[in-house]
Structure 1
Amino acid sequence: MTLKQIKYFEAVCETRNISKAADSLFISRSVVSRALKELENEFGVELFNRTHLGLELTEDGKLLQNMFYEFSSVYASIQERIRQRNSNSESRLLTIGITQTCGRRLYPRLFIEFNKNYPEVQFNTIELSAYESHDQVTTGSIDFFFTPETFRTGSKFSMMGELPLYSSQTVFCTARGTRLAKHSTVTPREITKLPMAMLAARPPIEWPLNIVLRTSQHVLIKRAILSGLANAILPMDMIDDWDGVIGVPFEPPLTFTNRLIWNKAIPHSPAFNDFLEFMQNYNLTDL
């Protein structure tokens, strides 16, 4: 597999026609055809089916297309980072992804603590879903992301590095004075028919729920709970300072671990290494 083969394959995916792909690349049709055949022989699969609308990717071809997309993005990121290193323009900017649920505890206090030791490092912080963050750290668009989601980072073939940070639990959130607010624990059966507010992300549980509000705004969920219009299922550390809102643990408990995730397969800046070392030694119970 070569970069040229990938380039030719992507051109055929875009045009759905070998001749048009060859014209767009200013090469002969036979060169493109040979490159596709070499890829098919290397992977032992057919990449395209012929239809009346043109070439159509097979299921194996779609897998290869996704793999090449990630590879090309990572390759471009590596080129840029090497260019920065060789031009002595090492970046002191870190781009970090946070999720709706873990950002409240970490931002901005953690970054302020880091800047006490490294005042020259600047942060570009973006709120993303866990899966958007995973895609962007894969391509090198962001340096790190914080997430409670579990990814397959333990495999020796994984590109991802992982640092467990702290454990917490997801709780049932209701207004003080409600019947369930007095309980020491709740079960799924007790809440399935209650009106629920949810963050506009993947639900933290798979139970059937009566969702009456879905929003990305924490303040709307808090207001809905306090007004008695809805309840919620949220991380305990997210509602610690929500006066009037009670977090009731589930039985059995819904525990999770927040993690720091990064891409091990691409070169990183000194600022990246400084932040990773800081996180490895920082006591997050101080937050």
Structure 2
Amino acid sequence: MELRHLRYFIAAAEERNLTRAAEKLFIAQPPLTRQIKQLEEELGVELFVRKPRGLELTPGGEYFLGQARQLLDKLSATIDETRRIAQHRKTVFSIGFVPSVFYGQLPKMIRRLRQNKNLEILLYELKTQEQVEALKTGKIDIGFGRVNIEDPDVEQELLFAEPIIAAVPAGHELGRHPPTMQELSEWPLVAFPSGPGPNFADITQALFHSRGLKIRVSQQVNDLQTALSLVASDMGFTLVPEQVCKLNREGVEFVSLGEPGITIPVIASRRRGENPNAVMRLVNSILHELVENRLSGRYP
């Protein structure tokens, strides 16, 4: 099996039509048909069902499509990293993160790693599910997120449980004492939109739904900074991880919740079964120290 077999198969699977796939690949259709047939013979399975209107993936074809994409993504990431290493003569270490973990100790870790002149640190803002895929393709080496994702190729470590707090307009009555979920539900919420898979929006809205409380969403926003701007404009309150209070945003007060035990995890994701190299051992050592600081109350 050669790389061209994978590229040809992916093109045919995406176009669901050999003529269009051949045009996309800038080759004639007969050679493409032969290459797909050779791939099927080598695998010993049919990847497509041929129909009058085009191609349809078999269950085996659906599975192979996902694996083929991962293989080519992994190859692309390897080539990019090889070029960077050759150009800079540095070891490249890539980190994925969700924005809400970047207000705590993660910048400290990155700052310490950057003191090593032989390291080049690359940062990627990715949702937790995207981090899992990026780990599998080699795009990142470690990810920091909020959500548990079950995947046989990735292991996740709970670093600590972080309190959820409320961001309310400065001077608002919600800031006079730690509000309960019941009290918060009586005010408009600036919400983050839900998406595929579990995310922060699902977690926070479930806090109300599990208590039988309805919420009144005043606005949906895609990022934290916009949410805080709307809170400062008295559009409502929003729920955020405790680390966010380090922003000291004008017009916004951060208050603890009046109910104990409302937290959200901070999770590190790594490739499963991979022996840590020198850089990963350094990362793990710094991370252990920073987590100990957080748990012992020396959180900066």
Same fold, judged at TM 0.5 (above): yes
1:17-166 map, 5 Å: 17=17, 27=31, 29-30=33-34, 32-37=36-41, 39=43, 41=45, 47-77=47-77, 91-116=90-115, 118-152=116-150, 158-166=152-160
CA contact (8 A) 2:148 2:156 kept: no
- Return the alpha-carbon distance in structure 2 between the equivalents of residues 73 and 265 of structure 1: 20
Distance 1:266 1:10, change over 3 A: farther
Amino acid at match of 2:190: A
Paired position in structure 1 for 2:165:
171
- Return the alpha-carbon distance in structure 1 between the equivalents of residues 247 and 31 of structure 2: 64
Paired position in structure 2 for 1:260:
268
Displacement of 1:88 in angstroms is 11
Paired position in structure 1 for 2:248:
242
Paired position in structure 1 for 2:191:
198
The answer on 1:233 being equivalent to 2:239 is yes
Aligned residue among 254, 269, 278 for 2:286: 278
Amino acid at match of 2:168: T
Amino acid at match of 1:32: I
CA contact (8 A) 1:74 1:266 kept: no
Displacement of 1:145 in angstroms is 1.7
Q: Which has the higher helix share?
A: 2
CA contact (8 A) 1:199 1:217 kept: yes
Distance 1:177 1:271, change over 3 A: same
The answer on 1:210 being equivalent to 2:208 is no
Relative to structure 2, which stretch is displaced further, 69-78 or 21-30? 21-30
Relative to structure 2, which stretch is displaced further, 87-96 or 126-135? 87-96
**Normalised TM-score (structure 2):** 0.71
Identity fraction in percent: 16
- Return the alpha-carbon distance in structure 2 between the equivalents of residues 172 and 270 of structure 1: 40
Displacement of 1:258 in angstroms is 0.8
Please state whether the residue corresponding to 1:104 is helix, strand or coil: coil
Please state whether the residue corresponding to 2:96 is helix, strand or coil: strand
- Return the alpha-carbon distance in structure 2 between the equivalents of residues 15 and 101 of structure 1: 38
Amino acid at match of 2:191: M
Amino acid at match of 1:144: I
Amino acid at match of 2:96: G
- Return the alpha-carbon distance in structure 2 between the equivalents of residues 223 and 32 of structure 1: 54
Amino acid at match of 1:194: W
Please state whether the residue corresponding to 2:255 is helix, strand or coil: strand
CA contact (8 A) 2:70 2:137 kept: yes
Unaligned runs of 5+ in 2: none
Distance 1:2 1:126, change over 3 A: closer
- Return the alpha-carbon distance in structure 2 between the equivalents of residues 266 and 242 of structure 1: 40
The answer on 1:221 being equivalent to 2:227 is yes
**Alignment deviations for residues 245-287 of structure 1 (CA, whole Å, 9 cap, x no partner):** 1323264633222122222467876434432343244434244
Displacement of 1:234 in angstroms is 0.8
Displacement of 1:108 in angstroms is 2.5
- Return the alpha-carbon distance in structure 2 between the equivalents of residues 162 and 90 of structure 1: 31
